[in-house]
Structure 1
Amino acid sequence: MSTEQIPQGANVEIISKNEKKARELVKKLNLKQIKGITRVTFKQRGNLIYAIDQPDVYRSAAGTYVVFGEAKVDDLNKRIAESQAAQEQAAAAQQAASSNKTTEDKSPEAITADLEQASLQPKVEEAEEDDGEVDESGLEAKDIDIIVDQTGTSRAKAVKALRKHDGDMVNAIMELS
């Protein structure tokens, strides 16, 4: 019977010669077929997985299994990367949706006022802190220099933060950054 003579929609399983031989040997070895298994997976190093869907599984009396079916490679690292990318996209979409919900006044006057307010605030803070000489007594100059380098703030702010945290550089840097 050729493939043209098989009616459409018929469930026909075509078995190769090698598979026929293997099945005959399985029968000679007294292996018992196990029904109800829908998927068999084999894991290899590097999260590489071989999966066999709808396998024929046989078990020997000693506990050895023989599996027949078409093995497909399933790379777990690729699946993990794809799921992380999908989660990141969902988080970005959620964040964009939440930021679009907030309504702000986008008139030119409001934007100009916001810009003026933002540009005036740092000047006022710097003027307040840089007015006088900074008293660095009791503090090490290298600690102050490290804080200035790490946070990019003025020396007066670094001294003030160090005094507030009793010379603890870590807490001073955390406050200023």
Structure 2
Amino acid sequence: MSIEEIPQGADVNVISKNEKKARDLIKKLGLKQIKGISRVTFKQRGNIIYAINEPDVYKSPAGTYVVFGEAKVDDMNQRLAEAQAAQQAAQEASASGAAAAAAEGASAEDKSPESITADLEKAALNGGAAEEELGEVDETGLDANDIGIIVEQTQVSRGKAAAALRKHKGDMVNAIMELS
């Protein structure tokens, strides 16, 4: 079957003779294929990135990798510009949506004494939690380095990090997962 006979839109890999030889040699060398990798990138000076979508990746016992696929140039500067434009558009949309919600919310706010009391109680509870965080943190029985790592990874206060670490009996992974 020649390339002209392949129906348009068919999912077919055409492997050259040299690539087939290389794959056979790799299998003889004991390299193991790694499944589930959807993209491999290589960065070069000047923010030039080479990207290989849907690659075939093999790993040697020594830890080196062999990657097969079509490398395409991916301009990092263009991606950054697109990301900034998308972020700016999202901020504008959220600002206009917040203004519309505030206009609707101002007229629909509940001014009953019960709702005002409930709001004051919520504020008092939140203020108490903030005061606890500002005070001394009880780190007895916990490793200070573990708490520091959790604070660094999750960007929370030392009090919250210590509480999560205590809740998970010193298990850093579960504490970080809870806080992130």
- Pick the TM interval, shorter chain: 0.3 to 0.5
TM-score after normalising by structure 2? 0.45
> Of the two, which has the highest radius of gyration?
1
